[in-house]
Structure 1
Amino acid sequence: MPSDFDSLQDLTGGSDDDQQGGGDSDIDVASKETKKEFETKMSEIQQKEKERKAKRRAKSLGYPHIDLTDFPVSQDALKLMSEDQVKELGAVSFFYEKDNLRIAALDPSKEEVKELKEDLEEKTQTEAKLYLISKRSLDRMLDRYKNMPTVEDVRKEVKIDPDKLEEVKTSISDFSSLQGQVDKANSTSEIVTYILGAGLELDASDIHIEAGEEEVQIRLRVDGILHDAAVIKPDVYEQV
């Protein structure tokens, strides 16, 4: 008996095969997107729960908690420790500037972490503070090491004359005078002597040499702050 009702294909203008195939495809796409969104959401929930657990543990141990997953960590802070140290101790120096050093650890109560704190305080002459972090934060800090420039151990014959070094110290009073001495240097040894002399005379805690394509910047850290001290040409830098 013929039906009085329109079939699904009559209502939609397509065949049964077309409707069935298209519907399955749409459902499949929607299912995959929903699954991906669900997995992403579940991952976020799990990560937040891990941070909450770390925060509760920090409170029980008497240390402040910090989430470093999006923290703007400087290379100066990371350079205070090697990547191997971070992995071995489960700790990382994440903030360092004048009179301000911060160290985070999976377990800041460990004796090895406390010894690290003392070592870095002596090295930087800065009082440090310990924080507790989650494994996710530590992993994020280890990722930062992968983007840090590597330093090759290159040994060249550079002779430093002690008398010349003392002479240089008396002739340098500020950063501009260092630039003048570097500009008139006649040898690699003289350039190194001027830079070291300036560092000693200006009481710099460390010397940074930052190579660029057009110039090499010499920076000295004085009172915890990096200062632009002098510029040398790349071809000269290759000899240093």
Structure 2
Amino acid sequence: MVLFPKLKRYQALMRLLIVDELAGSVRQLSLLSCLPYATTYAYLHELKKQGLVKSVLIGRTAVFSLAISRSEQEELQYRLGLPTVPARALSEFPEVEVLPLVGDFPELQIEKANTKEEMLVRALTLSKNNPVLLRTLPLLTEKLGAMGTDLLNYWASKLKVKQELGFLLDLTAELSKKKKLSGLARRLKDKRRRRDSFFFEKENDLKGFEAKLVERNTPALARKWHLKLNMSLDVFESTYNKFSNTL
């Protein structure tokens, strides 16, 4: 393989493509791999010429991903000495054990992730259809500890839950008094966002009195992120205070 020496040199980038199986723009992959933008740009285009990656245009942005078979991917992973970390069910992450009623969330046994950042964002996405799961997520967020901002941003953007993730981080900061999480949340803020949306999928079609009830019960912290949900801050505080001693 012509590029093998360079592949070894840029293992951080190759790990993102091969082990984590990420697809992203030059900017995203540059941030996640901690390589300079120009280096990432040149290297991805070299890989594309060799047929190892492909790119598709989404809007005006080129998104790169692997273009080789599973067997070729495994061979390259072996030759580069990259760790084999297969995707795990969300319920298999040790931090998830802290969730109260974890056995009552079968969706956590089906959805899979590679990293704790991906796991949190996927759990958050699932909570849009499960209010009880949402109430437990501040406990999980605190338990996870330090997380990579760029990887959180990547998955929140990919799964279209940046506002929801910002709210969760701010909420966890409020409950746990760990203000660093608020700083992390600020980096997700989209200042162009002006329109409010419902957090829970089932609330999207509400009208009349039910819609007004959601408006009335939405906590100020959620409104800050242009979200509406029929769940007061007291509900989150009650769950957190009841189980925080298990962290």
* TM-score range for the pair, normalised by the shorter chain length: under 0.3
Q: Which has the higher contact order (CA 8 A, sep 6+)?
A: 2
Q: Which structure has the larger Rg?
A: 1
Instruction: Report which of the two has the higher share of strand.
Output: 1
TM value normalised by structure 1: 0.26
Instruction: Report which of the two has the higher share of helix.
Output: 2
